Amino acid sequence: MRGGAGSAVGSGNASYCAEQVRRFDPDRYLTVLFAPRARRAALFALYAFNIEVAKTAEVVSEAPLGLLRLQWWRDALEAIEAGQGPRHPIAEPLTEAVRRHHLDPALFGRLIEAREFDLEGQAPEDLAALEAYAAATSAGLVHLALQILGVEAAAARTAGHHAGIAWALAGLLRAVPFHAAAKRLYLPRDLSQAAALRTGELFELRSSPALCRVAERVAACAREHLRAARAVAGQVPRKARPALLCATLADHALARLARAGYDPFDPRVQERPPGRAWRLAWAALRGRY
């Protein structure tokens, strides 16, 4: 954080980041509560930054404006790397997080670049393209969280890669109605064509057997990544768990989707059931994710 930002300002910005995460990313907010208190401000700054770039397509009226918004964050991160982050309620705490925990600038760069895809208005070509998008956005975020937690173990990075992809895929399935309302589609184009999914019908916010078939295939891919994340669990340091608890949340989200017949429009998929904090606590207590 720049020297001109006083402690009161820094504290206020840290609280701002925590509140942004609590309001707009309540699942990740819960996972932060299982991190050591000294690491939480940095995690909140990281996740607040993610909210800012992730919502770009939602807050701009046309793609060029979105590109300008993402470029602002690229420039801000370059300034942060130089120790001169801009005065901004998220950039200032992020400057401190980058400085204190030596966060990898390449991960930030890939995350912002991947968010340009949101502005294109095109569905990913295939499942591999969707996985690559999830890796750059969600898995990259998990890797940055692991750096904040001081975890360098290769097994933790492997688990983070797969857990992050699984969480992103589960989230994109849950967000199908939201994206459809905005005429955006993240379901792989080849799977949609094979299932004879009618995009126009989807954009009218109507479900279909074709949609459920595509969602089931994407969910199966997410489960494969969860299995891969847990295959190395015995080699993952316990202090990595707060960054990996997204796997527990993804598991429950996929279970709700399965009970709904893989219909993203089913109300059971959209609800945030009570007891999420207890599920996370139980997983953390047992050293699992």
Distance (Å, whole) CA 60 – CA 267: 28
Angle, CA 180 vertex, CA 174 and CA 186 arms, to 5°: 65
- The DSSP-derived string for the chain is --TTS-HHHHHHHHHHHHHHHHHH-HHHHHHHTTS-HHHHHHHHHHHHHHHHHHTHHHH-SSHHHHHHHHHHHHHHHHHHHTT---S-TTHHHHHHHHHHHT--HHHHHHHHHHHGGGGT----SSHHHHHHHHIIIIIHHHHHHHHHTT---HHHHHHHHHHHHHHHHHHHHHTHHHHHHTT---S-HHHHHHTT--HHHHHTT---HHHHHHHHHHHHHHHHHHHHHHHTGGGS-GGGHHHHTHHHHHHHHHHHHHHTTT-TTSHHHH---TTHHHHHHHHHHTT--
Amino acid sitting at position 86: P
Angle, CA 181 vertex, CA 178 and CA 183 arms, to 5°: 110
Class of domain 1-120: mainly alpha
- Alpha-carbon separation of residue 37 from 40, 45, 86, 92, 148 (angstroms): 5, 14, 26, 19, 12
For 36, list phi and psi in degrees, rounded to 5. Answer: -55, 140
Run means of pLDDT, 10 residues per run, the chain, 289 residues: 36 89 96 96 98 95 95 96 89 95 96 95 96 97 98 97 98 97 96 97 97 98 98 96 96 96 95 85 89
- The contacts of residue 261 (CB under 8 Å, 6+ apart) are 212
Q: Domain spanning 123-289: which superfamily?
A: Farnesyl Diphosphate Synthase (1.10.600.10)
Q: Count other Cβ atoms within 10 Å, centred on residue 273.
A: 10
Give the model's pLDDT for residue 3: 34
User: Whole-model pTM above 0.75?
Assistant: yes
Contact criterion met (CB below 8 Å) for 248 and 280: yes
Q: Where are the domains of the chain?
A: 1-120, 123-289
**In the structure encoding, which two tokens stand for residue 13, read together?**
């910005």
Give the model's pLDDT for residue 10: 53
